[in-house]
Chains A and B, each alone.
Chain A
């Protein structure tokens, strides 16, 4: 398949790994930000191909993992309401909140439907005007434009029975938070290519300059990741800390201006609570004043007591790159994909779930 096969070509991947081995002289610790990259690294065993000096640690870039338990609890309460059709992407179905998940809500009679696009939820709202259709808007900057578009179109189409439960988060504040931690070991970043496709690469320049770390916008195929590591190591060895773009076939420096404009119109930046990490200032998006009338929390939200993750779980440390999954005493024992204790085990792209699934 074009645009996939050439980036999975074994010879090119191995050649790139050899090149990294040839230029590395010291130990370096890099963080891949996105859960999709973590998944690809573990799925293809890419870290096995790297020289021992290069350590990859896994970042907080799995939107499912970092969704706040309090938001999940609201989602489960709203989805259980008899008048509601609750539309969600498939991988939110089994993410546990305090006491249940969407699979269980559905089994108990909740009308929970998996959609492939937020625009499908709009069509449901138009087709079933007597029902209240709620879309669970989860994700990073990658999903924000389509989610913004659905609210924008809902207003244009006068769909009063459509609303959105918003839990959008932003990557640069998370990177900033990781670098601001005195315990951080991260010396270079592979930035999430698809986030950069929307937002461009310029917003990383202040972070690279302030913390003196190279940041390379990187794709998701094996060769993308190897090239991202190579570019990062090359900078580290040369003592430079620029923003570079490995994923040039998709990412432009300025990003997607149309998508950004729509996001600015529909959403407003707010603080967000990241599961396993805590509150990060200005790291999330909520509906702007203009679109607030589509906020499902305003329409259906109630006060709920949410339980935070179990004390044994170290997912917060894992997402900040301070620990690896195997360091957790609960990993693979008390904590499995069937019974996750914390954020990084709940989604297939969480670091713990990826290790549990693929590691031999």
Chain B
């Protein structure tokens, strides 16, 4: 697919007001203008009716919903709009579902610049268009200044399962091989450095992206995919602990196999963070039978989204519900779920 051009809204910005006021949430003309000029224009959808009707061929449908809050709203490699689209597309993709249609709800804080809303809406439209999906319906609400943090977005999505596999933690088996689709930890560090004004020698760019092309490549190659999980908050370690707990099996991760960008590693060393727990928005872990590992790796690496894929772990039966890390120096240690967020250390 060629790179989509940035979408030009039908009605040129700026709208009459520079900033969102409580009047934009009042159900009157201002609200209708906002919905039509900013969102419906960017998404090329209609604002005339209460819901969108979408054609979906018969078969299994994947459905998901997620809320997005991020500060700052714009960060290296993305923004809250692209994030809200990628995150929901990825949740669908983790069921092996081709994304079809999204719905988006916006909680907008009074005082937010209309221009910011335009940027977010355009970014969402581009992200959806790249994945071959449409944003077909939505909602806006305005809250008083101080009762929000700019813009909160909730997106729901539906996608088509064009396969008959049971891509689910219950399909994971002892002996399965785990692949990680690229380097880990970039999104969390990119957002943190933007939020805290931390500057590093080289800019760290979020990995936020839609993973459907990589999943599609796996399915087209006929790989017997047992499970997929996108790595979000809590990072790679938390995703693996969730799988270990869901399956009652042991997972062993090879520290040396997992890629971490040197700039991310440096930032983590400096801040006392473990990159295996740092958030991602465009990486996934894939469980396949050992016999399918080579085919899976090849299929993933064929796509730009997962060109950095590696075999990074395996499923064992030894310690039910636990994840073990094989360290670089060959020792084994526990990789647990953290009790809360990672906190930067004192020294």
Contact = CB atoms under 8 A, between A and B. Distances in A.
A143 B343 contact: no
Contact of A8 (B198, B266, B324, B328): B328
Given A1-B265, A91-B343, A360 B334 contact: yes
B14 interface: no
Interface residues of A, number: 41
Nearest to B325: A358
Contact of A91 (B269, B319, B334, B345): B345
Given A338-B339, A360-B319, A143 B333 contact: no
Given A4-B269, A360-B319, A44 B345 contact: no
Nearest to B344: A90
Contact of B331 (A36, A46, A63, A92): A46
B4 interface: no
B329 interface: yes
A89 B331 contact: no
A1 B266 contact: yes
A216 interface: no
A42 interface: yes
A345 to B, nearest CB: 11
B332 A89 contact: no
Contacts, number: 87
B347 A142 contact: yes
Interface residues of B, number: 27
A234 B330 CA distance: 25
B271 interface: yes
B333 A359 contact: yes
Nearest to B347: A142
Interface in A43-92: 43-46, 48-49, 63-64, 89-92
B262 interface: yes
B234 to A, nearest CB: 14
A13 B329 contact: yes
A89 B345 contact: yes
Interface string A1-18: 100100010100110000
B336 interface: yes
Interface string A213-227: 000000000100000
A45 B339 contact: no
A90 B196 CA distance: 13
Contact of A116 (B265, B271, B324): B271
B54 interface: no
Given A1-B269, A42-B333, 11 more contacts: A4-B265, A10-B328, A13-B329, A45-B327, A45-B332, A48-B331, A94-B340, A116-B271, A139-B346, A338-B339, A357-B336
Interface of B: 196, 198, 262, 265-266, 269, 271-272, 319, 322, 324, 327-334, 336, 339-340, 343-347
9 contacts: A1-B262, A4-B269, A45-B331, A49-B331, A63-B347, A91-B272, A139-B347, A348-B345, A360-B332
Interface of A: 1, 4, 8, 10, 13-14, 36, 42-46, 48-49, 63-64, 89-94, 114, 116, 138-140, 142-143, 194, 222, 336-338, 348-349, 356-360
Enumerate the 9 nearest inter-chain pairs by beta-carbon distance, A residue then B residue, closest first.
Answer: A45-B331, A90-B343, A90-B344, A10-B329, A142-B347, A358-B333, A89-B346, A337-B339, A91-B343
